[in-house]
Chain A
């Protein structure tokens, strides 16, 4: 793989719409040849929908109905972002090696790191379903592990998704640390007997470095990005047209 210079943008805790706008902005920069990574959290519990997923059904689930909702630019099903860490990486295809294998590379690296912390997990072999009688049916991403997703005690605790655009790829994914009251059907690591005190954003970033075969150089967010991200946030990720149209 050719050597590329990867930058790690500083960690941010912000609204779901801002985070999705920032990921979209990262992909635009990747289309211009930049290699970017970051770790982030959500300022409030937030529902995110997959790109093609219908918004119908969310209002029928009382614990989800009142939460902020945003549609991702990546595929898959509904996520509840609350007690978790999320990562995003964006780069031109040529900087990523085998793009199809990239989610598994990241997941294997995270699973190995968790093992070093004394938290045993396994990577899902083939796509499957986790049965939960009380959960809303067919809409929760973490009840549908895909091949390579991370499971602990039979529960999915990490998954990732990609968006490919003009020769560049955005990949983001979440590590579920705790069980959100909004999604009691999805236990996080802490509720699966794991001690999560040593799970840090720097540790997760180190996993990305291993998966990418590159170090991540810490940088501040470039000054000019705030206007671009705010514009995307307002015009797309806060708009009902984008979030509720499907």
Chain B
């Protein structure tokens, strides 16, 4: 079940708004598509990212996947715990496995992000 207080991108990132900042992570569906996660590369603090651009990369035993920025903003923090324990992203994707904190340019509530119900509808149409 995806938390109802989050917004979701088509590319399987979640966004938790927090004032003029937001926290970003990967959805349960996204991490379930990966086998054991071995490495996560995240952007440098201070980097500006545009919605839809690459935000990082995640490697699992069989695959390397791109992670996309769901909103435009400046990276304020990255989850450094993931460098020593990348499996956190699989064990707790909506909590301790968060990826980055962004200062948002514009509003999080933009048209391209979905609520939990719409996201679950998208996932249900995706081959598992």
| Bound CA span A164–B126, Å | 15
| B residues adjacent to A (C-beta < 8 A) | 11, 33-36, 38-39, 41, 57, 59-66, 126-128
Contact A52–B127 (Cβ < 8 Å): no
Contact B127–A163 (Cβ < 8 Å): no
Encode A161-202 as 1/0 by CB contact (under 8 A) with B: 111111101000000000000000000000000000000000
Determine whether A132 belongs to the interface, using a CB cutoff of 8 Å to chain B.
no
Contact A163–B59 (Cβ < 8 Å): no
User: Which residue of chain B has the shortest Cβ distance to A1 in the bound complex?
Assistant: B127
Which chain A positions have C-beta within 8 A of B36? 127
CB contact list, A45-102 vs B, under 8 A: 51-52, 73-76, 93-94, 96-100
CB contact between B64 and one of A98, A100, A103, A162 (< 8 Å): that residue: A162
List 11 other contacts, CB 8 Å, given A52-B57, A75-B63, A100-B35. Answer: A51-B57, A73-B64, A74-B63, A75-B38, A75-B64, A76-B62, A96-B127, A100-B62, A162-B62, A162-B63, A163-B63
Contact A75–B60 (Cβ < 8 Å): yes
| Bound CA span A161–B11, Å | 20
Query: Contacts A52-B39, A52-B41 hold; do A97 and B62 have CB atoms under 8 A apart?
Result: no
Encode A5-27 as 1/0 by CB contact (under 8 A) with B: 00000000000000000000000
Determine whether A121 belongs to the interface, using a CB cutoff of 8 Å to chain B.
no
Which chain A positions have C-beta within 8 A of B66? 164-166
Query: Contacts A93-B126, A97-B127, A100-B35 hold; do A52 and B59 have CB atoms under 8 A apart?
Result: yes
B80 shortest CB reach to chain A, Å: 17
Contact A146–B64 (Cβ < 8 Å): no
Kindly name the residue among B60, B62, B64, B66 whose own CB sees the greatest number of chain A CB atoms within 10 A: B62
Contact B127–A75 (Cβ < 8 Å): no
User: Which residue of chain B has the shortest Cβ distance to A162 in the bound complex?
Assistant: B63
Contact A164–B62 (Cβ < 8 Å): no
| Bound CA span A99–B11, Å | 15
| Bound CA span A166–B53, Å | 10
Determine whether A160 belongs to the interface, using a CB cutoff of 8 Å to chain B.
yes
User: Which residue of chain B has the shortest Cβ distance to A104 in the bound complex?
Assistant: B62
A4 shortest CB reach to chain B, Å: 12
Which chain A positions have C-beta within 8 A of B59? 51-52, 75
Q: Enumerate 9 A-B pairs (CB-CB under 8 Å) in ascending A order.
A: A51-B59, A161-B62, A161-B64, A163-B63, A163-B65, A165-B66, A166-B66, A167-B11, A169-B63
Which chain B positions have C-beta within 8 A of A96? 127
Which chain A positions have C-beta within 8 A of B64? 51-52, 73-75, 161-164
Contact B62–A75 (Cβ < 8 Å): yes
Which chain B positions have C-beta within 8 A of A165? 65-66
